[in-house]
Structure formats: C-alpha cells, structure tokens
Amino acid sequence: MSSQPDLAVLEAALGYKFQDREPLSRALTHKSWAYEQNSRERQALHNEQLEFLGDSILGFLVSEGLLRRFPLYSEGRLSKMKAHLVSAGHLHRVAQELNLGAYLRLGRSEEMSGGRHKKALLGDALEAVLAAVYLDGGLERARAFVETRILPLPEDVERLAAIEVLDYKSALKELAQAWRLPPPQYVIVGESGPEHAKIFTVEARVGRDLKSQAEGTSKKAAEQGAARGILEQLQTGEARPVNAPQPEAWARRFQNAAKL
C-alpha cells in the first residue's frame, strides 16, 4: 500500500492512545519491509523483537486472567483454554477484528503474496502491538487490552471451557510419558528461502523407532507438523514402539481432537 492508514483509528480500536507512536509503528513493520530499506540496523526497524516480548506478556496475562475468571478450574482445563487463546487462529481473528492488516508495513514480495491476510503474520503483529502497548503505557494498559480483546466474552465462556485444543507437541509428549518412552526431540535439519521468508525443516524423534519431518514458515510450525507426523504414524499403525500398549484409546482421542 502506498500509505499507512491513520493510526488514530487503530488506537481507538485498541482502546489505547500512545504517548509515543514509535513502538506502535515498529510493531506494525514486517521484516520484509525492513530488509528493503537502506540501513545497517535492519533489526531495529521491524517487529520481531517486539513479537518476542509480546508473546511472553500475552502468556502471562492470559494465564492470570483465566485464573481470576475460573478459580475452581483444574490446571489441565486452564492450560487447554490458554492454548486456544494464544493460538495463531484466535490471534488471527482478533487481528482481523482490529483490521490490523491494513496498517502493516510490508515489503513488495510479502505484499504481493497476500501478507496482509496471513494468519501467522497477523498473529505475530498482534503480539508485537501488545508489547508496544506495554512499553508505552505499562502493564496495566497491556492487561486492559488483553482483558477486552483476547480473553473470552461472557457468552463464550461455556464454549471455551469445554474446548479441547489439539497441540501436537504436547500430545506427543504426553503419549511418550504414558508409554515410558524418551521425550520427543526436535532438530532443524534444513532451511530454505530468502531471509524474510524462510522455510524450516524439522525432524521429530522419539527414541530410535519413531521419526518424522515437516516444513513450516516458523520453527514452531515445523515442530508441530513433525509431531503430528509421528502421531499419525502411530494412529494408522505404520509405526509402533516396542512394548507399547495397544493404541486404540489414543487413536480415538486423536481422531476426536483432529476434528476441531
């Protein structure tokens, strides 16, 4: 886009007016834009560091908010709710409600490939915006943003309380523990593509018998894909660790979760 829309409109949607808009502008800047600039300090121009900070702030504030809203829920139930609220899908929906894509600064290649609508890119930008709110206004302002935009509305509580979120890495770890297998290991075995649009290949291994590789636009996504590959091998019977119990119960759970 030739010009960025008025940030005052975005501030109104966020429910927070910045004292200094520099952190907000950086939060909205993708590395593809920064790498097109004639600057030796590209890292300081884009939002990846803010995304890193925002991810931690989000996890803390969502955990705190859920514990306050559901003080009688078990740790397992709270963990599933948190996994949903910090997932790429939920953050993407929140970013769309804020029309965040319209405010992003993207490089030409990312613009041409539909970057303004990409789930991972918008979720990362939302985390960076949360970090910008925190840096400019402090923890209470960041908490207010999470409370109003990311935590569930009263009418969503029952649906969210019942949700079972499928996290393939967590599921594989749980299965390995149940079967007394070594914990899953994840190794990056390949990288391809330009710096601003890398594709990662990750191999997941559980002991000597189980392994799977997957690609993703982030290390996390590739790890999830590799974990899913092992789970699918176990579900179909393609692979089965020595001395493992019959996996019928696990297969039913995996099939139900995969429908979400």
The residues annotated with a catalytic role in the active site are 55, 127
For 81, counting Cβ atoms within 10 Å of its Cβ (0-12 exposed, 13-18 middle, 19+ buried), the class is buried
Return the structure tokens found at 174. Answer: 């749980």
Q: DSSP string covering the chain, please?
A: --SPPPHHHHHHHHT---S--HHHHHHTB-HHHHTTSS-S-GGGTSSHHHHHHHHHHHHHHHHHHHHHH-TTS-HHHHHHHHHHHTSHHHHHHHHHHTTGGGG-B--HHHHHTTGGG-HHHHHHHHHHHHHHHHHHH-HHHHHHHHHHHTSPPGGGHHHHHH-----HHHHHHHHHHHTTPPPPEEEEEEEES-GGG-EEEEEEEETTTEEEEEEESSHHHHHHHHHHHHHHHHHHTS---TTPPP-HHHHHHHHHHHT-
Q: Which residues have C-beta within 8 Å of that of residue 165, sequence separation ≥ 6?
A: 80, 83, 84, 87, 257, 260
Nearest to 23 by CA among 151, 193, 171, 141: 141
Please report, as a single letter, which amino acid is at residue 93.
R
